[in-house]
């Protein structure tokens, strides 16, 4: 059995991806694997420092993002979705796809035991096949979201039928159990276009995912059966893949629920002026203390312009707005945080539930409506009421925050969130899943072929 196997990690350039890939890389290095984490110089600089005790095993491999000819499709220095408007992500994919060349050379030189890829770099398939390196996919999405989109025929090597926007508004026909997963009408068209639409990169996200999944020996999910066993079983039943259930590295258990609410909307959501203002008025109306991680949006001339006039002054002493990239994981682990208002990004959900926080969700893009539906179905979150056109009101924001954080009828929600911490923050459980994952790697790596 190979010892000190070498794993090459290839995450996508959206921060909900490199962070879990980095956490997994750290765990593998601690387990004695050599890990090469491939990204761009700007992104590797934004990751936490590699601890000294694994610095010889975990290497960040920064490949400069190739320039996109002189059309300046991407402003210089933009290396992640957080740096650009949503409509420019297609150009980031073009630049990212050009990394296939340095990555192929690296794999040729290093001869690793594994390539573990994300859902976007479909070109790793050709590299893995040509250089005979086992390929697998690490899904930073939940098993439920993956089951919703990965059509069974794709899993068995057939063509993925492109679903219609209408079909996204109900649970897929291949779900053999009742499921709340579905998109509200006001998001279905946008999500459909984002996943199935062909963009400037020349290949749609669903085709990228299908190519990688079909060529992968295994699929690893950042989750656990205690939360979504029915979806993990469905995925396994519909595919010949083995799948490893595991959860991200947990933090310390959260002991006390106090009333400070943290707000964050991930790295991909670009909130409009109306949305930011309505959220601000809602937080103000709730009367709750808060900490808001707010990235300055493109439409604001300055940080202060982002918020309603006088908001900072009126909430002085009760709330803090942290502009720019905030240390979210650390904030959530702080004993004064009692709950979170999030966009329902899977990474933030895992980070929140491991501390037993009560959750208020405002899903906006990609898989968020699905992860929100499942959280509400399991009694772990309250979702902000939305109108037909997707808009929401400050009153609904305030009502949901008070229900989740302080009101009597929210006690059941809060106690369920505390119970969820027994799973999402359970190190023993995570170690069990991780050790199963390591055993699989060692028994199926290149040197065992
Ligand atoms: C998986 C998928 O990738 C995307 O992730 P996105 O970045 O939006 O959100 P998270 O998954 O919460 O990931 C966000 C990650 O960025 C970290 N963070 C964010 C903001 C900040 O100021 N500081 C931080 O440290 C946060 O701690 C988390 O680890 C898609 O939306 C999708 O919905 C999600 O399921």
| Ligand 1 centroid from CA 408, angstroms | 31
pTM of the complete model: 0.88
In 185-218, which positions are buried (b, 16+ CB within 10 angstroms) versus exposed (e)? Answer: eebbebbbebbbeebebeebbbbbbbbbbbbbeb
Residues 12, 155: one domain?
A: yes
Residues 111, 121: one domain?
A: yes
Helix axes 411-424 and 394-405, enclosed angle (nearest 10): 70
Pairing of strands 358-361, 381-383: parallel
- Contact yes or no for 403/397 (Cβ under 8 A): no
Ligand 1: does its nearest atom lie under 6 Å from the Cβ of 20?
no
Residues 294, 386: one domain?
A: yes
Residues 211, 270: one domain?
A: no
State the Cα–Cα distance between residues 361 and 382, nearest whole angstrom: 6
Residues 272, 214: one domain?
A: no
Residues 271, 419: one domain?
A: yes
Q: Measuring CA to CA, how many Å separate 85 from each of 175, 345, 395, 408? A: 35, 18, 29, 41
Ligand 1: does its nearest atom lie under 6 Å from the Cβ of 348?
yes
Q: Whose CA is nearest to atom 3 of ligand 1?
A: 16
Residues 432, 344: one domain?
A: no
Residues 329, 439: one domain?
A: no
Q: Within a domain: residue 255? A: no
Structurally, the chain folds into a number of domains equal to 2
Residues 304, 217: one domain?
A: no
Q: Which of 144, 138, 149 is nearest to 194 (CA)?
A: 149
Q: Within a domain: residue 1? A: no
State the Cα–Cα distance between residues 328 and 262, nearest whole angstrom: 9
The count of other CB atoms within 10 Å of the CB of residue 255 is 10
> Which distant-in-sequence residues (6+ apart) come within 8 Å of 376 by Cβ?
180, 361, 382, 383
Q: Within a domain: residue 199? A: yes
- Contact yes or no for 394/282 (Cβ under 8 A): yes
- What is the position in ligand 1's atom list of the atom closest to the CA of 368? 33
Q: Within a domain: residue 253? A: no
Q: Can you give the CATH number for the domain in which 444 is found?
A: 3.40.50.2000
Q: Within a domain: residue 55? A: yes
- What is the position in ligand 1's atom list of the atom closest to the CA of 347? 11
State the Cα–Cα distance between residues 94 and 65, nearest whole angstrom: 10
Q: Within a domain: residue 254? A: no
> Which distant-in-sequence residues (6+ apart) come within 8 Å of 180 by Cβ?
171, 373, 374, 376, 377
Residue with tokens 């050599």: 34
- Contact yes or no for 125/212 (Cβ under 8 A): yes
Q: Which domain range does residue 217 map to? A: 6-248+426-448
- What is the position in ligand 1's atom list of the atom closest to the CA of 342? 12
Residues 312, 227: one domain?
A: no
Residues 31, 129: one domain?
A: yes
| Ligand 1 centroid from CA 346, angstroms | 7
Residues 288, 212: one domain?
A: no
Give me the tens of pLDDT residue by residue for the chain, a chain 449 residues long: 445 899 999 999 998 999 999 999 999 999 999 999 999 999 999 999 999 999 999 999 999 998 765 456 788 889 999 999 999 999 999 999 999 999 999 999 999 999 999 999 999 999 999 999 999 999 999 999 999 998 777 776 666 667 789 999 999 999 999 999 999 999 999 999 999 998 999 999 999 999 999 999 999 999 999 999 999 999 988 876 665 544 443 322 222 233 567 788 877 788 899 999 999 999 999 999 999 998 878 888 887 788 999 999 999 988 999 888 888 888 998 888 889 999 999 999 999 999 999 999 999 999 999 999 999 999 999 999 999 999 999 999 999 999 999 999 999 999 999 999 999 999 999 999 999 999 999 999 998 77
| Ligand 1 centroid from CA 267, angstroms | 5
Q: Which of 266, 357, 369 to mutate to test the pocket of ligand 1 (most atoms within 8 A of CB)?
A: 266
The count of other CB atoms within 10 Å of the CB of residue 433 is 18
């Amino acid at each position: 059995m190979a010892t000190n196997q070498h794993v090459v990690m290839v995450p996508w350039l959206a921060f909900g991806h490199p962070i879990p890939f980095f956490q997994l890389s750290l765990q593998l290095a601690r387990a004695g694997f050599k890990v090469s984490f491939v990204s761009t110089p700007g992104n590797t600089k934004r990751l936490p420092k590699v601890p000294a005790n694994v610095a010889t095993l975990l290497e960040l491999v920064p490949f400069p993002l190739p320039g996109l000819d002189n059309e300046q499709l991407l402003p210089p220095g933009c290396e992640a979705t957080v740096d650009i408007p949503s409509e420019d992500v297609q150009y980031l994919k073009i630049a990212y796809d050009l990394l296939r060349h340095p990555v192929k050379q690296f794999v040729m030189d290093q001869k690793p035991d594994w390539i573990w890829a994300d859902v976007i770099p479909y070109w790793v398939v050709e590299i893995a096949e040509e250089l005979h390196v086992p390929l697998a996919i690490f899904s930073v999405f939940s098993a439920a979201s993956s089951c919703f989109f990965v059509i069974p025929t794709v899993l068995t090597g057939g063509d993925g039928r492109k679903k219609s926007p209408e079909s996204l508004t109900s649970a897929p026909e291949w779900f053999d159990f009742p499921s709340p997963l579905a998109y509200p009408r006001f998001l279905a068209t946008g999500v459909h276009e984002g996943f199935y639409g062909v963009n400037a990169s020349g290949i749609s996200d669903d085709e990228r995912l299908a190519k990688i999944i079909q060529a992968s020996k295994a699929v690893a999910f950042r989750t656990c059966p205690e939360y979504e066993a029915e979806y993990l079983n469905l995925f396994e039943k519909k595919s010949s893949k083995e799948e490893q259930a595991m959860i991200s590295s947990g933090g310390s258990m959260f002991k006390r629920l106090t009333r400070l609410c943290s707000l964050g909307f991930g790295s991909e959501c670009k909130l409009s002026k109306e949305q930011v203002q309505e959220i601000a008025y809602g937080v103000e109306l709730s009367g709750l203390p808060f900490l808001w991680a707010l990235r300055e949006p493109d439409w604001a001339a300055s940080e202060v312009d982002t918020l309603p006039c006088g908001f900072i002054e009126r909430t002085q002493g009760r709330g803090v707005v942290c502009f720019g990239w905030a240390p979210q994981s650390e904030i959530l682990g702080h004993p004064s945080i009692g709950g979170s208002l999030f966009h329902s990004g899977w990474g933030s959900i895992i980070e929140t539930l491991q501390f037993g926080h009560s959750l208020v969700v405002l899903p906006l893009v990609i898989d968020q409506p699905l992860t929100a539906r499942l959280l509400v179905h399991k009694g772990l979150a309250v979702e902000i009421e939305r109108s037909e056109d997707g808009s929401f009101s400050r009153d609904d924001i305030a009502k949901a925050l008070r229900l989740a954080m302080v009101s009597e009828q929210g006690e059941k929600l809060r106690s369920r969130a505390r119970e969820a911490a027994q799973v999402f923050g359970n190190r023993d459980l995570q170690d069990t899943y991780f050790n199963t994952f390591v055993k699989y790697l060692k028994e199926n790596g290149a040197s065992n072929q």
